[in-house]
Amino acid sequence: MSFDYLIVGSGFFGAICAKHLHDQGKSVVVVEKRNHIGGNCYTEQRDGINIHTYGPHIFHTNNPTVWAWINQFAEFKPFRLQVMAMAKGDVYSLPFSMHTFEKAYNARTPNEARYHIAKDSQFITGEDNLETAAIKKVGRKVYELLIKGYTEKQWMRDADTLPASIVKRLPVRFTYDTNYFNDTFQGIPVGGYTQIFEKLLDGIPVMLETDFFTSPLPEYKNLIYTGPIDKFFDYMHGALEYKTVIHKHRYYPSENVQGCPVMNYCDKSVPYTRIIEHKHFEGVQTEGSWISTEFPTPYIVEQTDPYYPVNDERNNAIYGAYKAMAESLPNVYFGGRLAEYKYYDMHQVVESALNFCKAKL
Ligand code: FDA
């Protein structure tokens, strides 16, 4: 038998396309190289706790259509992410808000905070890079406490060699609002994310532990590819760069280990960037707790997982060359974070996949 569509990858992009085609009566098969569905959004239940295996995932969007769509597949518990940050033995609140400025500068009003930031950044001149941009935004003290060490660990580079554009994404507020995201709709699926993918892929054959490039495949007429685009073209224009991390998951026989879902570790002497305590996402009551420690690690092509695209000039140019090749291929479609080399959050990849299905399939 020849399937109408073969889909590479069972993350949001692949699973949404698979459901759309299946609902239209097309024959579809999904191949997934990991031993589970869900891509990086996969959650695994252990000891009554849903572990976000590939890092913390909070669904947030301003788009009511996307929110209504995702709510068909799980019940969402309202959730506001509040990130804490450990630096030189003290705990600070993120994103940068009046709580942070009060603790660092003893500033009690927005005007006092602005005054301290201006004073603490007054001698900054020269090339705009991550370091100078960050100091202008939050002052040298907050930069050195909360940004420098964390960023240098995460990027494995000195902060003054990184582009200022990275810091432009950092939210800075002169209010006591500590909500990490600004979006209207924010939540965590009760029971984890994997159930969403089980429902999307219901009735569709999924071949796990099947690598599109090396495993025997069924015959197919059309291809939807959600893996890394450079790999598809055998790196002929060069390998794209990614940032990546590894998570070490551990069970603690303690009811509450750190009191919050995400604690950043900002000192450079600490080898990890953050610790995630999963039970706080859904607020479950269990005797023990699962925590994951996140270690930045060099991205090695085909050896470590590609996580965050590095959309600088060089990589965007390489991606452009692959995109042009991709667009010239008949019956092959590329979509999702890895195939479009785009820093998609979940709501964005959902929206992109729904639009793609409407327009192309
Ligand atoms: P995804 O990477 O999920 O799926 C691609 C699939 O293709 C994978 O399952 C992969 O194994 C498979 N594949 C690749 N090559 C293959 C091959 N050769 N053969 C077979 N299968 C192959 N978003 C958000 O909204 N809120 C959040 O809090 C977070 N947090 C977050 C933390 C971390 C650490 C990361 C890395 C990402 C996030 N995200 C996020 C982003 C979110 O993970 C992302 O938007 C979606 O996973 C993208 O879905 P895709 O389907 O594009 O890719």
Global pTM value: 0.96
Look up residue 133 and give its two tokens. Answer: 């941009």
Query: Long-range pairs for 254-260 at CB < 8 Å and ≥24 separation?
Result: 254/288, 254/289, 255/286, 255/287, 255/288, 255/289, 256/289, 257/289, 257/291, 258/84, 258/291, 260/82, 260/83, 260/84
* 306 close to ligand 1 (CB < 6 Angstrom): no
Find out whether 304 and 297 touch, Cβ atoms under 8 Å. Answer: yes
Look up residue 324 and give its two tokens. Answer: 């042009």
* 213 close to ligand 1 (CB < 6 Angstrom): yes
Q: What is the arrangement of strands in the sheet containing 83-87, beginning at the earlier edge strand?
A: 90-94, 83-87, 262-265, 274-277, 289-297, 242-252, 308-309
Per-residue model confidence (pLDDT) at position 269: 97
Residue 283: CB atoms within 10 A of its CB come to 11
Does residue 170 have a pLDDT over 90? no
> Which protein residue has the closest C-alpha to ligand 1 atom 23?
345
Per-residue model confidence (pLDDT) at position 152: 96
Handedness of CA 303, 309, 315, 321 (dihedral sign): positive
Whole-number Å distance between alpha carbons of 109 and 114: 9
In whole angstroms, how far apart are CA 104 and each of 86, 122, 161, 289, 329? 13, 17, 26, 31, 55
* 206 close to ligand 1 (CB < 6 Angstrom): no
Per-residue model confidence (pLDDT) at position 70: 98
User: Is residue 7 packed enough to be buried (19+ CB in 10 Å), middle (13-18) or exposed (0-12)?
Assistant: buried
Look up residue 43 and give its two tokens. Answer: 């959650």
pLDDT digits 0-9 by tens, 241-250? 999 999 999 9
Per-residue model confidence (pLDDT) at position 128: 87
Does residue 77 have a pLDDT over 80? yes
* 307 close to ligand 1 (CB < 6 Angstrom): yes
Per-residue model confidence (pLDDT) at position 36: 98
Per-residue model confidence (pLDDT) at position 327: 96
* Portion of the chain with pLDDT greater than 90, in percent: 93
For strands 308-309 and 289-297, give the pairing.
Answer: unpaired
* 34 close to ligand 1 (CB < 6 Angstrom): yes
Give residue 340's pLDDT band: very low, low, confident or very high (50, 70, 90). very high
Q: What is the mean pLDDT of residues 230-243?
A: 97
Find out whether 264 and 274 touch, Cβ atoms under 8 Å. Answer: yes
User: In DSSP terms, which residues pair with 249 in a beta bridge?
Assistant: 292
Give residue 169's pLDDT band: very low, low, confident or very high (50, 70, 90). confident
* 212 close to ligand 1 (CB < 6 Angstrom): yes
pLDDT digits 0-9 by tens, 111-164? 999 999 999 998 887 668 999 999 999 999 999 999 999 999 999 999 999 888
Per-residue model confidence (pLDDT) at position 311: 84
DSSP, collapsed to helix, strand or coil, labels residue 35 as coil
Does residue 227 have a pLDDT over 80? yes
The rounded Å distance from CA 41 to ligand 1 centre is 6
Per-residue model confidence (pLDDT) at position 319: 98
Does residue 208 have a pLDDT over 90? yes
Whole-number Å distance between alpha carbons of 182 and 61: 9
Candidates 57, 185, 246, 310: which one to mutate for ligand 1, based on the most atoms within 8 Å of Cβ?
A: 57
CA 304 to centroid of chain Cα atoms: 16
Per-residue model confidence (pLDDT) at position 59: 98
The rounded Å distance from CA 200 to ligand 1 centre is 16
Whole-number Å distance between alpha carbons of 20 and 28: 10
Average pLDDT, the chain: 96
Report which DSSP code applies to 145: I
Per-residue model confidence (pLDDT) at position 125: 77
Find out whether 100 and 121 touch, Cβ atoms under 8 Å. Answer: no
Per-residue model confidence (pLDDT) at position 168: 78
Does residue 73 have a pLDDT over 80? yes
Per-residue model confidence (pLDDT) at position 49: 98
Does residue 38 have a pLDDT over 80? yes
Which phi and psi angles does 255 have, rounded to 5°?
A: -70, -30
* Portion of the chain with pLDDT greater than 70, in percent: 99
Does residue 277 have a pLDDT over 80? yes
For strands 76-78 and 28-31, give the pairing.
Answer: unpaired
Q: What is the mean pLDDT of residues 250-267?
A: 97
Per-residue model confidence (pLDDT) at position 224: 98
